[in-house]
Structures are given as C-alpha cells and as structure tokens.
Amino acid sequence: MWEAEPGTFAGGTATQIDERIWAIDLGFQGWDQVIHAYLLTAPDELALIETGPTTTLPALRAGIQAAGFDPARLTSILLTHIHLDHAGAAGTIVREQPDVRVFVHPVGAPHLVDPSRLVKSASRLYGDRMDALWGAVAAVPADRVVPLADGETLGVAGHVLSALYTPGHASHHVAYWDPDLAAIFTGDAGGVRMPGSAYALPPAPPPDLAPDEWAVSTERLRQTGAQRLVLTHGGPFEDVAEHLDQLMPNLSEVEEICRAAMSAGADDVEVTALLQAHTERRLGFPAVTVPGIVQRYGWASPSFLSALGFRRLLTRRGDVPALEQTDRQG
Ligand SMILES: [Zn+2]
C-alpha cells in the first residue's frame, strides 16, 4: 500500500544547525531529509530529540560519530511522541545503554514500557512490512521513563527546553521549545516539509487525529515567538509565520478531499490515490521536479495513513458512511 519507492542514501550524516546542536539524517528508506534526530551536546552530556526507528539505528550512531561524539555517551532521549518513525529505537538503545533516560508525555509513557498495543496497532497499518520498516520495538524499563507534562522545563545537555503539549497528530504529542535559540523542535505538530518546497503537509494518521486540537497546538507554536521551526521530517525552517499559517488550511484541504471521496463511496485505495495526487499538485512547479521530493513526502507522510486517519475520524463523527473492513496489507 506504500506509494513511495526506496532511495539509495545511507544516512548517518551530521549537519550542525546551531551551537552544540546537530541534525542527524537517518536516511530512512534510502532518502535524505525524511527523518532526523537532533543531537544536543554538552561536555559531559549528550541528548537526542527523537531516535528514529530501530532500522536506522546504525545511521543514528554513525551520525553521532560524524558530529564528533561517542554514541556510548548518550544520556537522555527526548521524544515528541511514540510513533515508530520517531521513537521506535528508544527501547533498543536503553537495553544496550541502561543509564539513558527517556522523556515522553505521560500519556505516551505506558506504551514505551509495554509497547504491545503500539506494535499491534502499527501491525494493522503496515502488515508484513512492519519489520522491514521499523525493526525491533523493545520495551523501555519503567524506571528509565520520565513523564514530561505540559510546560515542564528541562535542563539537558546544556540546553533549557520546555515541553509544549501539542496534540492533534497524536494525543500525547509534545514539541520542545528552546527560548535561547528561539527554536521549536516540532515533531509532527509542525507538519512535514521537504527542502525545495514551501508546502507544509500535516501527517494525519489514525488513531488520534484531531484537527481541532491541532489548530490549538499550532497557535501554541505561534505564540512562542519562535524564529525557527525544526522539523523531524524536513529539518529547520525560518519562515515561521508563513509555515504555520498554511498548516491548518492544508490539513482542511486533505480533510475535504477525504470527506467528498468517502461520501461518494471511495475505498481507501482510491482516497490514497487522490491524496497522493493532491500532494504532487500542492508541491507545485518547480518543487515537484526536485529529484526524489515526491518520494520524500510520501515516506514522511504516507497518503494511505492520512486516508486511514480521516476514514476513522469522519466515520466516528458520522460524516461519512462506515466502510466494510478491507485488506490493508499489500
Ligand atoms: Zn507521528
């Protein structure tokens, strides 16, 4: 069902984006820019914002080394949310490095300690591609998980970060606000945007998708006065107002396409094709001609996931008729 092809980029590169902060490109599915982890460094502390999935752990470690640091010295992991493309490797890392602490919103914490429900629901979405995409999903021991509530401030690796509760994409999503750098590590709350395009695409997977909450979260991001948005999927961008302004209208466009097609009886394959075509149209010319850009958007925010996210949301609201269960594997 995945519409994008793999590329050939191995990942493991480190780009310094600020004092003592590196963007590590994980080379997910052979493409650059699709998933980043951010490395925060101090003389005796190393922290990561996001880990990426277990399949890209070698690239994560290579990237930490490329930045000039020893991955064995990692002390903290800050997760924006527990989706496998952001957090899948956390348990495997802590298993090998038991001193590492993992920060996550309280609602996400139990699913790190016991990932069985997370794995089960992801398996429904990804079927037999589960392992190839994400690899092992190991539990994080409970005493290594630190729940981080809205507004809590955290001193980590020489940076002071505040957790901003930003649901909408996931019910337990937090973004990390660094007032000294005037930067927000947005996770998925800031959408997906690949260099070469101005198009910010909000990824809309099941089961938590909540556009109304996402709109409130977008306002929270705006109210920080940030001068830089640091996206997990796409890297840093400085046109903060323009980026945030388009986020909710872009989500509404996707919602309207889903509502119209589903009301007319379209199945998930048909809706996926419509959303894929919509992304390409919205990239516009000349961005759509940047080599690999369509694939990068496709891997970072798969159209089939947004189709399923809106199917669930709109069906529950009674906006579209329920669909008979279809085979979602393949
Ligand atoms: Zn996510």
Report the pLDDT value the prediction gives residue 175, as an integer from 0 to 100.
98
Checking DSSP bridges between strand 153-156 and strand 145-147, what pairing results, if any?
A: unpaired
Q: Write out the two tokens for 39.
A: 């490395």
* Per-residue pLDDT tens over the stretch 223-232: 999 999 999 9
Q: Write out the two tokens for 144.
A: 């290594």
Report the pLDDT value the prediction gives residue 191, as an integer from 0 to 100.
98
Residue 67 makes CB contacts below 8 A (sequence gap 6+) with 14, 16, 22, 24, 39, 41
Ligand 1 midpoint to CA 188 (Å): 6
Report the pLDDT value the prediction gives residue 4, as an integer from 0 to 100.
79
- CA end-to-end span of the chain: 5
The arithmetic mean of pLDDT across residues 60-83, rounded, is: 98
Residue 132: count other Cβ atoms within 10 Å of its Cβ.
11
> What is the C-alpha separation between 307 and 276, in angstroms, rounded?
10
Ligand 1 midpoint to CA 44 (Å): 31
Ligand 1 midpoint to CA 297 (Å): 14
Q: Which residues pair with 229 in a beta bridge?
A: 184, 237
- Strand order of the β-sheet with 228-231 is 153-156, 159-165, 174-178, 183-187, 228-231, 235-237
Report the pLDDT value the prediction gives residue 329, as an integer from 0 to 100.
45
* Per-residue pLDDT tens over the stretch 132-150: 999 999 999 999 999 999 9
Ligand 1 midpoint to CA 43 (Å): 31
pLDDT value at 267 more than 80: yes
Ligand 1 midpoint to CA 170 (Å): 7
Q: Write out the two tokens for 41.
A: 């460094």
Residues with CB under 5 A from ligand 1 (ion): 83, 188
> What is the C-alpha separation between 224 and 182, in angstroms, rounded?
8
Q: Write out the two tokens for 173.
A: 């999503």
> What is the C-alpha separation between 124 and 161, in angstroms, rounded?
35
pLDDT value at 44 more than 80: yes
The arithmetic mean of pLDDT across residues 2-23, rounded, is: 91
* Per-residue pLDDT tens over the stretch 182-221: 999 999 999 999 999 999 999 999 999 999 999 999 999 9
The arithmetic mean of pLDDT across residues 69-80, rounded, is: 98
Ligand 1 midpoint to CA 108 (Å): 12
pLDDT value at 325 more than 70: no
- CB-side neighbour CA atoms (13 Å) of 104: 30
Residue 316 makes CB contacts below 8 A (sequence gap 6+) with none
At position 5, the amino acid (one-letter code) is E
The per-residue pLDDT of the chain, averaged, comes to: 96
Contact 233, 297 (CB under 8 A): no
Ligand 1 midpoint to CA 272 (Å): 18
Q: Write out the two tokens for 260.
A: 């119209």
Ligand 1 midpoint to CA 83 (Å): 5
The arithmetic mean of pLDDT across residues 125-129, rounded, is: 94
pTM of the full predicted structure?
0.96
Contact 294, 190 (CB under 8 A): no
Cα–Cα–Cα angle for 301, 210, 161, rounded to 5 degrees: 75
The arithmetic mean of pLDDT across residues 304-317, rounded, is: 97
* Per-residue pLDDT tens over the stretch 85-107: 999 999 999 999 999 999 999 99
> What is the C-alpha separation between 74 and 102, in angstroms, rounded?
11
Report the pLDDT value the prediction gives residue 326, as an integer from 0 to 100.
52
The arithmetic mean of pLDDT across residues 116-125, rounded, is: 96
